[in-house]
């Protein structure tokens, strides 16, 4: 689920290696994840979201999310549903913040995230970091 900017910055091989190592660790220590499936077939995966547990801070638990929606399913509310479910999970887990990285060229995603309560925390050449404070978004 790496953004084009992230791939550009690290290189394809480094991203592949990182993802390979992540999924190897995931088997023993799975992060929470949700998958959206086609309601007619219940077979076709339309999108997924993973919540990576960030280090707990003095102000509480934080999660970073990674979300992807299949190209043909975009613009149909799948991303909004996945993010909503992830935010509910994080609140239920008493997290105080959720953050994510997004490619600055992904205008549709940035708009969705802003509509879901995320605000830009940091901007770099190939990446924007956005976050939502769950204690303020109630």
Please give the pLDDT value at position 110. Answer: 96
Residue 35 pairs in a beta bridge with: 48
Query: Tens digit of pLDDT per residue, the chain (138 long)?
Result: 555 666 566 677 766 776 677 667 667 777 788 889 988 877 788 999 999 888 767 777 899 999 999 999 999 999 999 999 999 999 999 999 999 999 999 999 999 999 999 999 999 878 899 999 998 865
Please give the pLDDT value at position 60. Answer: 76
Please give the pLDDT value at position 88. Answer: 96
Please give the pLDDT value at position 5. Answer: 63
pTM over 0.85: no
Q: Which domains does the chain have, with CATH numbers?
A: 4-133 (3.40.630.30)
- Order the strands of the 95-102 sheet from edge to edge: 33-37, 45-53, 61-69, 95-102, 128-133, 119-123
CB 24 within 8 A of CB 58: no
């Amino acid at each position: 689920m790496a953004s084009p900017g992230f791939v550009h910055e690290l290189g394809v091989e480094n991203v592949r290696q990182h993802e390979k190592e992540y999924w190897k660790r995931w088997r023993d220590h799975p992060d929470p994840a949700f998958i959206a499936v086609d309601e007619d077939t219940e077979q076709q995966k339309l999108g997924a979201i993973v919540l990576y547990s960030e280090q707990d801070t003095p102000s509480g638990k934080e999660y970073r999310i990674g979300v992807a929606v299949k190209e043909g399913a975009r613009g149909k509310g799948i991303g909004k549903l996945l993010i909503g479910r992830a935010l509910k999970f994080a609140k239920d887990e008493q997290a105080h913040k959720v953050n994510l990285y997004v490619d600055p060229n992904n205008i549709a995603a940035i708009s969705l995230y802003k509509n879901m309560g995320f605000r830009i925390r940091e901007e770099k050449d190939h990446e924007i970091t956005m976050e939502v404070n769950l204690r303020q978004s109630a």
